[in-house]
A and B are shown apart, each in its own frame.
Chain A
Amino acid sequence: MRRIAVYLCRCFGEIDQIIDLNDIRVRLAGNSRVRSSAVVDSLCCADTIKQTALQIGKTDADQVLIAACSLISRGNRVIRTLEEEGIRSSSIHLVDIREGCAWIHGDDAAGATEKAYRLVDMGLALLEHKRPSDNVVVTVRREALIIGAGPAGMAAAVSLAERDIHVHLIERGSEPGGMPMLFSRVYPGNEDPSIKLKPYREAIETNRNIAFYPRSKLVSVVGYVGDFKVCFVSNKNEYHIRPGVIIAATGARVFLPDGLYRYGELKNVITQMELETRFKKGTAETDNTVFIQCVGARCAERPYCSTICCPSAIKNALRISERNEDAHVVVLHRDVMTPGSTLENYYRTAMERGIRFIRFTEDTPPVIIGEDRVEAVDVYDVVTGLTRRINADLAVLSTPLIPGMDSHHLADMLGIQVDRYGFFREMYPMHPVETRMDGVFICGSARWPVSSDQAVMQGEAAAIKALAVLRSGKISASSFSPVPGGKFGHPNVNADSCTGCGNCMAVCPFDAIRLQRIDGKYFCISRVNKMRCKACGNCVSVCPNGTMQMPEHNYLSVCGMIERAFGQ
């Protein structure tokens, strides 16, 4: 039988003035499992908590129930401090009687006391069947896989390699550089991308820690943080590596506006990307040019703003007007999106230079006029309410970035999520390069359209987050889904009763469960990968015969809590 010590916190009267703690103590005395119960002034004070830990050590109790404030306010700290004092956190359970009882039932003292007793009783029911779940510790392999050698991937690779991590950098193309290498200039700073990215490209060639695999394709990813098993093909050779972390920097592609603004039909309706290549080749005509923004972006199909098209259109407009001062350059926009001081300066310079900005709306898009080539563009100017005809020799369509063709497939392989457009999704907005899959990081345009300087920034951020994992040496499964404070451990499979139905494997959001053949049985049974598991408990609730159980919070505990919730 479990021996439980109960501590009821007064919280300096906050709980005491509504709930009669002594009444609860008297009622608990009838429970044979409760070895001792005490009322303390305030458990969150450092002194009190040390005294309490000493007291617990002196009694023969093997489990502790604390009735105090909620986990979010002070409870977590109380449990952590008790753990530091040498009491296993898996043997502690915290019941919230302040936020969850005293403070919300201030007008009903008798009812609140009854409820507090029931809550404590539910806690005792949970402790009765609680078992600590077993922990797994793995050694982190000091290797990293970086998918994509664009600005983000290169920056991540170089900063990891400089810190003595062996980096495998795989790239679909034949050389590192990514999309900026197709451009003649990149904003901000109007620099030549081959010069701007030269340090990274040189480092990839010279640094011994970086292995660069051109023309490669990812085949499979299995494993867990610290020890992924990755297979990929490069130059028709198959490679098997075991990196500790994976950074996905696969970038994005440019949307082709087929059928929009007579693109493909007229020869001199081109995309921003084609203008860039013309600049690079030196074949760009610098005549009267009309830029049309938001082509295929901010519409019903793609309601997002791609963020890079306005600055790059302004950059190219400036370039044309610099080359040919007589050229009329007009930017037709829906809103000019140039955030930050540098890009705003671009916009102001462009206006000073005489580039005209005309605003249209989604309902009245500009119309291209011309028989076999663009002669003019008709646009309804919403500011003046007039339809204007602008003579043009060239119409440039600014199209948004869209996720790569295989982003869904890649996300499935890596076990991460994509948003509704297909970009990789971060863990939360406050964790921009981490994903919900431990050990997999994202950066660059694969997670959202970014300019090359921001991609570099994100690549370095991802490298630092990855470095924190790589440098930690050993990772335990519980450090990713911590047990203290009523959190669950990892599900256990009862090998005798598992029928191998595969329900748990189908619902697991992290692909942590596999069916495994074992000797002496004619069917497979499920096995939980404790490193991938985050203890959500989905597998537990679909298990048809209760084979899958969380030791910390098993079915018996839940039933016990339900049965004692309102008394017999």
Chain B
Amino acid sequence: MTNDEIRGMTLEKNKARQPKILVFACKWCGLIGADGAGRKKLELPVDFRVIPVECAGFVEPDAIIRALASGIDGVVVMGCHIGGCRFNNANHQAIKRLELLKELLDATGIGKERLMISFGTAHEDHQFADIIKDYFRKISGSIRLEPWVESYVPKR
């Protein structure tokens, strides 16, 4: 197959569905931005879900990989700006961890654009909306992911 054919197949596959985005929003910044965007009734694409977390430091790299593995196309982690964390330096620790994870994602071929880290840029309504819209635009060019792992949660 030539590169053009592969690109054609990718585009064909991408047309099938919209990208899915998962947002981990820190309660003290990202979630306030999300709430503000709701109050202002800013129109946003439907296919994103917000998981509120206490601090960006709570977001396990493992959970991000699991999200990508279960067919979610992109993950956004939103935290407070460096030095403004409620939990001393927790977000500073988080950013280091997540930047490393980004490198690992790139090295494994999943692509570093799958993970977006946004610290201190999403605590206002329009900023949150812009980040979501921009990320949708950015991730639409990438190939859609298919689930490639079994469910982790035991069925009862």
Name A residues whose Cβ lies closer than 8 Å to a Cβ of B.
Answer: 1, 70-73, 96, 98-100, 103-108, 111-112, 114-115, 118-119, 122, 125, 128-129, 417, 436, 486-488, 507, 509-510, 534-538, 540-542, 550, 553, 555-556, 558-563, 565-566
Contacts and interface: CB of A to CB of B under 8 A. Distances in A.
Interface of B: 20, 22, 27, 31-32, 34-35, 37-39, 41-44, 46-47, 49-55, 57-63, 66-67, 70-72, 85-90, 93-94, 97, 129, 151-154, 156
B29 to A, nearest CB: 12
A73 B35 contact: yes
B18 to A, nearest CB: 9
A70 B94 CA distance: 25
A509 B87 CA distance: 7
Contacts of B37: 99, 104
16 contacts: A70-B31, A70-B35, A99-B35, A99-B39, A100-B35, A103-B39, A104-B38, A105-B46, A107-B43, A119-B49, A509-B88, A509-B90, A556-B152, A558-B60, A563-B153, A565-B49
A1 to B, nearest CB: 6
Nearest to A98: B38
B30 to A, nearest CB: 12
A125 B151 CA distance: 13
Contacts of B85: 509
Contacts of A70: 31, 34-35, 38
Interface SS majority for chain A = helix
Nearest to A427: B86
A381 B46 CA distance: 63
B38 A100 contact: yes
B39 to A, nearest CB: 6
A128 B156 CA distance: 10
Nearest to B71: A566
Contact of A541 (B51, B57, B89, B151): B57
B59 A541 contact: yes
Given A105-B46, A436-B87, A510-B88, A536 B58 contact: yes
Given A486-B52, A566-B47, A417 B88 contact: yes
Nearest to B70: A563
A119 B50 CA distance: 9
A114 B49 CA distance: 12
Contact of B46 (A112, A125, A560): A112
A100 B50 contact: yes
Given A488-B54, A537-B54, A562-B72, A114 B90 contact: no
Q: Which among B43, B57, B94 has the highest number of chain A CB atoms within 10 Å?
A: B57
Contacts of A488: 54, 58
A470 B63 CA distance: 41
